[in-house]
Structure 1
Amino acid sequence: MNESSSRRLELVPGGVQLGTGPWQRPTSPSWVLVLPQTVGLCSSDLKEVRRSRDVRSDFGHEMVGLVHSSSMDDFPPGLRVCLDPHVPVTRTTAFSETTLLEGSPDQLRAALPTVLDGTPDDRAAFTEPLACAVNCAGKVLAGSDVAIVGAGTAGVLLAVLLRLKGCQVTLVNRSPERLTALSSTALLREVPKVLISEVGTRTFSTVVVTTASLDDTTFDGAWRLLSRTGGRLVLFGGIRSDWRVPGTHVLLDGIRRGEDVRELELGGRRALVVGTHGATGADFAAAGAVLAAPLPWTAGHIEELIVGRVTLPGLAALLNDAVRTGVDPIGKHMVDIGLNQ
């Protein structure tokens, strides 16, 4: 990379393409130019490539980067930052050798939390998804008996946080491959991992749905895991805006995005439906603190979840292949973008 042009991924019809263009130039008085080093691939990135996401664009957001230059003294060159994509700033994708953010000074401070010293880049790249999991964990009562439906990154991060909160956690998934892969990890070695078809009659006081997209089958399976009365169904994963609870007119995406609470009675069960969405600045601070030290039950940490690494050209091939086949890559992939890549 040189200071005249940089490579970046661009969304195009049918997938992505790797382009090269001049460095972005700020048009606002307050701005920060960041050099992404390591960026995590998120399920929402795949939705955007497939054009199946009907909300704001966050393409390339699980970033750890170094400040190159800025209009503000708060962001000296070399400062290591991550990204809170929920803050309303104007920015370019972090799947790029340069990322420009523009907004008010307060917005930029909120959008670019500092990475704590001693936190490796691979671990710090989990800050944003972990912050969202922190927000979700706040909706679960300490000490609860919890089933987490969905064994993707969100479900695993939530399992880690709920264990720290003293909850009894069971990880439930529709297919066995992901559960098998997680069985050898120190993070989840002591966490029961069960196929949803094999749970039997066991019920839980709290069920959290973390799947990328809620459908009738997943909802029905999660609802049946709840106690008959007094249970809590927490909505953490993606939900289409027009999806309704089967047999009702209840739309759940609004509850999730509004972080609302609603009582639902269905099929002989009555439970609170609780929404959780996004993360606050306090959630990012809490996530950073968790990532700064080893977890109490293992000398390892969350970067154990990384299953693959790619560069920007490799990411373009990976995403276009996912569009072509309709199959998402399994497990967490990191994109290495730094100056030496």
Structure 2
Amino acid sequence: MNLSNKYYQHADGVVSLVESNQLSLNKNQPFILIKTLYCGVCNSDIKEIRGERISRRDFGHEIVGVIISSNVYANRVGNYVTLDPHIPVERNTGFSSYMCISGTKDHLEKALIIIPSGNSVYILSEPLACAYHAVNRLLGNSQGVNKILVYGAGTFGYLIYLILKKMGKDVCIGNRSVDRLNDLQKYNLIENKHVDPNGKKYDALFLTESVIGVETIDSIFHKISETATILLFGAVKQDEPLNLYEVRNNELVSKIHYKNKVLTMVGNSGATTCDFSQSIDFIKQNSNELKKIITNISDLASGLRHIQNMVNGQYSFGKHVIELQKDSKDVNPIETTLHLTVVDHPSTSRKLNFLNPDLEHVNSCIDLYKHFSKKWLWRGKLNWLDSDWIKHFNNEHVIFKLIMFENSIIGFFEIQLSTPTTIKIKYIAILDDFIGQGLAADIMSEIKRIAIEMKVTELLVQTRSCDHNNALNYYLRQGFAIQHIENIEVML
């Protein structure tokens, strides 16, 4: 597939920015194409670049995007989505202008979670889902939990703390060094009373450091009760004693006797669809508070330097986000050509009449074209003379029809015979007062009728991102499928 795509790639600990006009897409299997708006930088991304990732590789997974094409979910085009990276699908990195996801239809549906908007705060959907999963795991496997410590004051630690705080739990947050705790207070994310004080004992503990083990437990052993419940959130090395690796990755619950205490170890990994639902609801209700943890939003170029600094060990507080594209109509819009093979005879129009224009209709055509050109950036016929229009009407390769509703001209459509077996739809336009009345289906039925009458086998249509918001979705519902995407320059 040809399109202008910028993305990050990494090798040997170095991140680079690449620009390409190619995106791998297998049209023979279910796929969804996403225009990526934002991608959050996760600590797992940094570890993957360094070659230190213990678990799966999923570079660039905290995304906010909008679906622009699919061969199985055409009705979802235009939906804002985030990604559940735990579902087995094939995809390119989320640090990319466009992300193509392929796999089974069922997996695609589960992997892309619909979100209310393209706001950058929704890059927290996946981290929050993982945080909710951890909270649900601990609370569901413990009894009589009163005092809770979240140990590890990174983004995940803060999100778990915030969920518990909103639940009304007695929760504190701690960290090996005071720097992160100071930053949380600096950004007004926690109050001093929620910072772990010396001498307090906890009966539940979340270990949210990036890598955890027995040494982590030893470092806070004096803070936990004799029968504490400990949730293993961070990654665990395979050779850790106490069977921590198996407990964590397989989400087991194991009681162990360790240094005269009976500890309940709760494994934790990933997130479920239910966790994502809780996460998105939480963002809706607490978006202003959550935005505080997003401390930096960068474009691809400046974000590259920031990520490389993190890879090289530079401490950086908060969630950092890469903005891939603007959530607005493109100045250089995408022009999409869709393809359909006509296989049956459609019903004819009942509401509309279609008129072949002649000289007396030239002024109406000029007025309509000027009206539509202001809205949809049409330029090709703006300077035409009357003679140009008449010549166009008489072109044997062009079919130009005025659309009549109750004896009034409300729009027009134009189709062109590209080859003896292919028709290209150039324009379909009706006045605003008639949009939303179901007339578009009648217009398309007339076009298909003409196509069958001319014995063509293909209909092609081009639609741009500066056309009507529902244009692409409408064509996809009519049975068209995306064949080609390219960037074109529109002269304003």
TM-score over 0.5 for the pair: yes
Give a deviation string over 1:207-238, Cα, whole Å, max 9, x none: 1100111155422123332101x210111112
**Equivalent position SS for 1:137:** helix
In the TM superposition, what are the counterparts of 1:241-320 in structure 2 within 5 Å? 241-244=238-241, 250-294=242-286, 300-320=288-308
Count of aligned pairs between the two proteins: 323
- State the shift of 1:321 in Å: 2.5
Q: Which has the higher contact order (CA 8 A, sep 6+)?
A: 1
**Residue 124 (structure 1) aligned to one of 114, 122, 125:** 122
- Superposition RMSD on alpha carbons, in Å? 2.1
Given the alignment of the two structures, is residue 80 of structure 1 paired with residue 67 of structure 2, yes or no? no
Structure of higher CA gyration radius: 2
Q: Is residue 2:337 matched to residue 1:336?
A: no
SS of match in other structure, 2:225 = coil
1:3 offset after TM fit, Å? 5.7
TM score, norm. by length of structure 1: 0.88
**Structure 2 Cα separation of the partners of residues 200 and 73 of structure 1:** 55
Asked if residue 170 in structure 1 is aligned to residue 172 in structure 2, the reply is yes
Q: Determine the C-alpha separation between the residues in 2 that align with 1:172 and 1:308.
A: 24
> Where does residue 247 of structure 1 map in the other structure?
none
Does structure 1 residue 63 correspond to structure 2 residue 60? no
Kept in 2, the 8 Å contact 1:69–1:75? The answer is no
Partner-residue secondary structure (3-state), 1:9: strand
The question of whether the paired residues in 2 share the 8 Å contact of 1:257 and 1:275 is answered with yes
User: Structure 1 pair 235/191, CA: closer, same or farther in 2 (3 Å)?
Assistant: farther
Q: Kindly indicate whether the alpha-carbon contact (under 8 Å) linking 2:15 and 2:304 is maintained by their aligned counterparts in 1.
A: yes
> For 1:53-99, what per-residue CA distance to the aligned partner results, in whole angstroms no more than 9, with x for missing partners?
13211100010001121112355332100000000000110101011
**Match of 1:97, as an amino acid?**
S
* Cα distance in structure 2, aligned partners of 1:329 and 1:215: 24
Q: Is the 8 A contact 2:138 2:266 kept in 1?
A: no
Q: Which residue of 1 aligns with 2:162?
A: 160
Question: How many Å separate the matches in 1 of 2:206 and 2:124?
Answer: 20
Does the C-alpha gap of structure 1 residues 190 and 292 become closer, same or farther in structure 2, counting only changes over 3 Å? farther
CA-CA distance at 1:187 after TM superposition = 4.2
1:207–1:225 Cα contact (<8 Å) kept: no
Equivalent residue for 1:237?
234
Name the CA shift for 1:191/1:107 in 2 (closer, same or farther; >3 Å).
farther
Name the SS of the counterpart of 2:58 in structure 1: coil
Residue number in structure 2 paired with 1:226: 224
Contact map agreement 1:67 1:75 (CA 8 A) in 2: no
Structure 2 Cα separation of the partners of residues 68 and 251 of structure 1? 46
> Which digits, 9 at most, give the CA deviation of each residue in 1:242-265, with x for residues without a partner?
233xxxxx2312211111011111
Partner amino acid, structure 2, of 1:121? N
- 1:153 and 1:167 map into 2 onto residues whose CA distance is 19
- Whether 1:13 and 2:39 are equivalent positions in the alignment is no
- CA offset at residue 202 of structure 1? 2.3
The question of whether the paired residues in 1 share the 8 Å contact of 2:59 and 2:93 is answered with yes
* Distance in 2 of aligned mates of 1:261 and 1:143: 16
Q: Is the 8 A contact 2:5 2:23 kept in 1?
A: no
Amino acid at match of 2:248: R
Q: 1:275 to 1:102 in 2, by over 3 A?
A: same
SS in 1 for 2:137: coil
Q: Within 2, Cα distance between the matches of 1:131 and 1:334?
A: 18
Contact kept? 1:44, 1:53, Cα under 8 Å: yes
- The one-letter amino acid of 2:291's match is E
State the AA in 1 paired with 2:231: V
- Higher helix fraction (1 or 2): 2
d(CA) in 1 for partners of 2:209, 2:106: 33
1:20: Cα distance to partner?
A: 1.3
Question: 1:175-194 counterparts in 2 under 5 A?
Answer: 175-189=177-191, 192-194=194-196
Question: C-alpha distance in 1, partners of 2:193/2:116?
Answer: 29
Aligned to 2:452: none
Higher-strand-fraction structure: 2
Q: Which runs of 5+ in 1 are unaligned?
A: 245-249
Return the alpha-carbon distance in structure 2 between the equivalents of residues 279 and 113 of structure 1.
12
Q: What displacement does 1:176 show?
A: 1.1
Structure 1 letter corresponding to 2:42: C
Residue 259 of structure 1: SS of its match in structure 2? coil
Using a 3 Å threshold, how does the CA distance of structure 1 residues 191 and 46 change in structure 2: closer, same or farther?
Answer: farther
1:138 paired residue number: 136
Distance 1:51 1:255 in 2: 24
Gap runs ≥5 in structure 2: 331-492
The secondary structure found in structure 2 opposite 1:154 is: helix
Which residue of structure 2 lines up, in the alignment, with residue 213 of structure 1?
A: 211
CA contact (8 A) 2:2 2:23 kept: no
Cα deviation code 1:151-178 (max 9, x no counterpart): 0000110011112223110101111111
Describe the shift of the 1:242–1:75 C-alpha distance in structure 2 as closer, same or farther (beyond 3 A): farther
C-alpha separation in 2, matches of 1:44 and 1:171: 21
Normalising by structure 2, report the TM-score.
Answer: 0.62
Once the two structures are aligned, what percentage of the paired residues are identical? 28
Greater Cα offset, 234-243 or 130-139: 234-243
Structure 1 pair 75/47, CA: closer, same or farther in 2 (3 Å)?
farther
